[in-house]
Amino acid sequence: MATLRTDGPPGRGSEGPTGRAASAIPEATVARLPVYLRALHGLVERGIATASSEELAVIAGVNSAKLRKDLSYLGSYGTRGVGYDVEYLIYQISRELGLSQDWPVAIIGIGNLGHALANYGGFVSRGFRIAALLDADPRLSGNRVAGLVIRHIDELDEVIAENGISIAVIAVPPHAAQEVANRLVTAGITSILNFAPAVVTVPEGVDLRKVDLSIELQILAFHEQRKTSGLPRAVLRGPRAVRPVREDPVNPGEFDYPSYTADDAAPAANARYDEVRPA
Amino acid sequence: MATLRTDGPPGRGSEGPTGRAASAIPEATVARLPVYLRALHGLVERGIATASSEELAVIAGVNSAKLRKDLSYLGSYGTRGVGYDVEYLIYQISRELGLSQDWPVAIIGIGNLGHALANYGGFVSRGFRIAALLDADPRLSGNRVAGLVIRHIDELDEVIAENGISIAVIAVPPHAAQEVANRLVTAGITSILNFAPAVVTVPEGVDLRKVDLSIELQILAFHEQRKTSGLPRAVLRGPRAVRPVREDPVNPGEFDYPSYTADDAAPAANARYDEVRPA
DNA sequence: GGAACTTTGTGCGTTCGTTCACAAGGTCCT
DNA sequence: AGGACCTTGTGAACGAACGCACAAAGTTCC
């Protein structure tokens, strides 16, 4: 197995064996195009036919120069002195993103989240269509959710092939995520959106993006902590674990803290550190 | 109103009125710390007490030098020649992320998604606790979900104050997201996780992160498109909208395309472009 | 105690991304 | 037709992030 990739395409990587230079649209730009698209759709709803980069930028919540540069990677679709034609720009961005075709998507794992995703009409916007639901629990097989029959995961290969699916969503418990990812790759899936709170790796050539609620929350908590307590941060409510920001590593003094175990970890023995690090 | 922020903290912004230089942990590092934390929890489960940066990096799916540099921002918690003590590192990262305290979280919008989130035990990992559920639909008020009573959105201020909540999750339909965000900010919320597929802006000082399924799918579609069709991309299945990558903007020739409207947009009149741009 | 070995922590060059600022190009009004 | 005005598209400066490569620091074994 070649180098593994984890995160969303990290700067396009080494672009794999197919040594395409690609048409050089930066990854950061690609990530913003859907946002512009949404802003543009909003303008359509309001019956606005033309918008300047400044107006669009405000709606999309970005810098106008950035927006112009982003759009310039697609071509020169604006009109100087006027701005961008909304419908035309929507078409161009959609085309660039590959939304001109209809992508069939499979959802693996029809638990709480998978169920919500399947029923969440809004998430499958123009360009996507839920084509299959799969689950490992045989009791679910045959049930209908969102108008689709749930199939057993063992039928994965047939389902993928039958529907020409290349994009799959993982919504299984964390411990099953890697296994499911492996099976998806074997079945020919080349793009995976992972909702399971687990680190999943895939072979090169397969794109993997993750949506992780607890990670997002933890990032928020980090900033929140800095806001509420000043620099010498202190614990507001919760266990006593007050320590200086960077205590002398040689002599940390006494402190105790709970053993932090994973979401689904077996309850680990509560550790106590009376030394910097256990000998 | 000051400058608006949209995305997750864009490089810490101008850091707001409280001109703290912060302890200079790069945003990119903060975003990875939760991943390391998860990797470490995995090691605890497997009873592994010590790990080198290389081992950790493989599990977390990152470069080992990057991991070491990330950890070095927190302090010198490794042992040369040995590696990192797993439990100790968990403690340090947790502390840095502010997970030593228990963050009460409110979920706004108990539809399909909100329901799933409330029941999704795994998402509220150590450090977080769902403290309140709110919805605008009065018929839901009083219902119990995940052991909590749903309250009406009009009670927001009291609920926030009662529970000392500073982090909220938006899981309402897109058209209501901005309104909800405004009310949250007014109620004193300073960190928001937005699940609604809508661009939301908040005043400076409030952190906003978004989790957007359709955006992630669209990014995947972009790469997928490049994989399947070579450089001169062609539409595989779907409407005929084949055009050269960058056609001469002066004379685009004839082409027609469907009018792409927003997920929840009113069906717009199908436009037809026989010119580069409608005069 | 000392030498061989392992792994951290980081200085530095490189790449990627953002923002400024302005010339080029186009519109609109007179 | 011509000039005032507006907005795009982009060169260039800046800044953040990445990853190599290595010295420093610790461990292990003899």
Q: What is the pLDDT of residues B213-225, one digit of tens each?
A: 999 999 999 999 9
Tell me which residues of chain B, numbers 164 to 193, contact chain A at a CB-CB cutoff of 8 Å. Answer: 164, 166-167, 173-174, 190-193
pLDDT band at B227 (very low <50, low <70, confident <90, very high): confident
Given a cut of 70, is residue B250 above it in pLDDT? no
pLDDT at B23: 65
Integer distance in angstroms from CA A260 to C1' C7?
A: 25
Q: Which of A39-53, A132-146, B176-190, B254-268 has the lowest mean pLDDT?
A: B254-268
Tell me: the pLDDT tens digits for B71-81?
999 999 999 99
Distant-in-sequence, close-in-space partners of B252: CB < 8 Å, separation ≥ 6: B243, B276
Please state, in angstroms and rounded to a whole number, the distance separating the CA atoms of residues B144 and B129: 16
Mean pLDDT, to the nearest integer, of B206-215? 94
Higher pLDDT, A14 or B32: B32
* Bridge partners for B151 per DSSP: B134
Given a cut of 90, is residue A171 above it in pLDDT? yes
Nearest to A200 by CA among A219, A168, A175, A166: A175
pLDDT at B14: 32
Mean pLDDT, to the nearest integer, of B160-176? 96
Q: Is the CB of A14 under 7 A from strand D?
A: no
Q: From the CB of residue A193, how many other CB atoms can be counted at a distance below 10 Å?
A: 23
SS3 letters across chain A: CCCCECCCCCCCCCCCCCCCCCCCCCHHHHHHHHHHHHHHHHHHHCCCCEECHHHHHHHHCCCHHHHHHHHHCCCCCEECCCEEEHHHHHHHHHHHHCCCCCEEEEEECCCHHHHHHHHCHHHCCCCEEEEEEEECCCCCCCCEECCEEEEEHHHHHHHHHHHCCCEEEECCCHHHHHHHHHHHHHCCCCEEEECCCCCCCECCCCEEEECCHHHHHHHHHHHHHHHHCCCCCCCCCCCCCCCCCCCCCCCCCCCCCCCCCCCCCCCCCCCCCCCCCCC
Mean pLDDT, to the nearest integer, of B131-160? 97
Q: What's the mean pLDDT when you consider all of chain A?
A: 78
pLDDT at B251: 31
DSSP string, B254-274: S---PPP--TT---PPPP--S
Mean pLDDT, to the nearest integer, of A230-249? 31
Mean pLDDT, to the nearest integer, of A123-147? 90
Considering only the beta carbons, identify the residue of B193, B199, B237 that sits closest to A217: B193
pLDDT at B268: 29
Q: What is the β-pairing status of strands A78-79 and A83-85?
A: antiparallel
How many Å lie between the alpha carbon of A59 and the closest alpha carbon of chain B? 7
Q: From the CB of residue B76, how many other CB atoms can be counted at a distance below 10 Å?
A: 10
Q: Show which residues sit with Cβ under 7 A of nucleic chain C.
A: A 11-12, 26-29, 62-63, 65-66, 68-69, 79-82; B 10, 52-54, 64-65, 68-69, 71-72, 76-84
Mean pLDDT, to the nearest integer, of B119-145? 88
Mean pLDDT, to the nearest integer, of B171-185? 97
H or E element at residue B83: strand B83-85
Please state, in angstroms and rounded to a whole number, the distance separating the CA atoms of residues A129 and A104: 5
Integer distance in angstroms from CA B81 to C1' D28?
A: 10
Given a cut of 70, is residue A40 above it in pLDDT? yes
H or E element at residue B86: helix B86-97
Q: In this prediction, what percent of chain A has a pLDDT beyond 90?
A: 68
B9 reaches A (C-beta below 8 A): yes
Please state, in angstroms and rounded to a whole number, the distance separating the CA atoms of residues A260 and A192: 30
Mean pLDDT, to the nearest integer, of A129-158? 97
Nearest to A116 by CA among B103, B225, B31, B107: B107
pLDDT at B24: 86
Given a cut of 50, is residue B33 above it in pLDDT? yes
pLDDT at B190: 97
Nearest to A225 by CA among A236, A240, A241: A236
Number of residues that this document lists for chain A: 279
User: How many inter-chain contacts (A to B, CB under 8 Å) are there?
Assistant: 354
Q: What's the mean pLDDT when you consider all of chain B?
A: 78
Q: From the CB of residue B103, how many other CB atoms can be counted at a distance below 10 Å?
A: 25
pLDDT at B270: 31
Higher pLDDT, A237 or B100: B100
pLDDT at A227: 87
pLDDT at B124: 58
Mean pLDDT, to the nearest integer, of B45-62? 96
**Tokens, residue B119:** 């029941």
Q: From the CB of residue A31, how many other CB atoms can be counted at a distance below 10 Å?
A: 19
Higher pLDDT, A263 or A173: A173
pLDDT at B126: 76
Mean pLDDT, to the nearest integer, of A157-173? 97
Please state, in angstroms and rounded to a whole number, the distance separating the CA atoms of residues A103 and A112: 24
Given a cut of 60, is residue A6 above it in pLDDT? no
How many Å lie between the alpha carbon of A154 and the closest alpha carbon of chain B? 25
Please state, in angstroms and rounded to a whole number, the distance separating the CA atoms of residues B181 and B203: 10
Nearest to A189 by CA among A209, A205, A175, A176: A205
Given a cut of 80, is residue B229 above it in pLDDT? no
Mean pLDDT, to the nearest integer, of A31-51? 96
Please state, in angstroms and rounded to a whole number, the distance separating the CA atoms of residues A77 and A61: 20
User: Do B276 and B243 meet the contact criterion of CB atoms below 8 Å apart?
Assistant: no
Given a cut of 60, is residue A248 above it in pLDDT? no
Given a cut of 60, is residue B247 above it in pLDDT? no
B248 reaches A (C-beta below 8 A): no
Say how many Å lie between the first and final Cα of chain A, rounded.
37
Collapsed DSSP state (helix, strand, coil) of residue B128: strand
Distant-in-sequence, close-in-space partners of A269: CB < 8 Å, separation ≥ 6: A259
pLDDT at B239: 28
Q: How far is CA B178 from the centre of its chain?
A: 16
Angle, helices A53-60/A27-45, rounded to nearest 10 degrees? 100
pTM of the model: 0.80
What are the φ/ψ torsions at residue A108 (nearest 5 degrees)?
-105, 125
A45 reaches B (C-beta below 8 A): yes
Within a 13 Å sphere around the CA of B266, how many CA atoms are in the beta-carbon half? 6
How many Å lie between the alpha carbon of A34 and the closest alpha carbon of chain B? 6
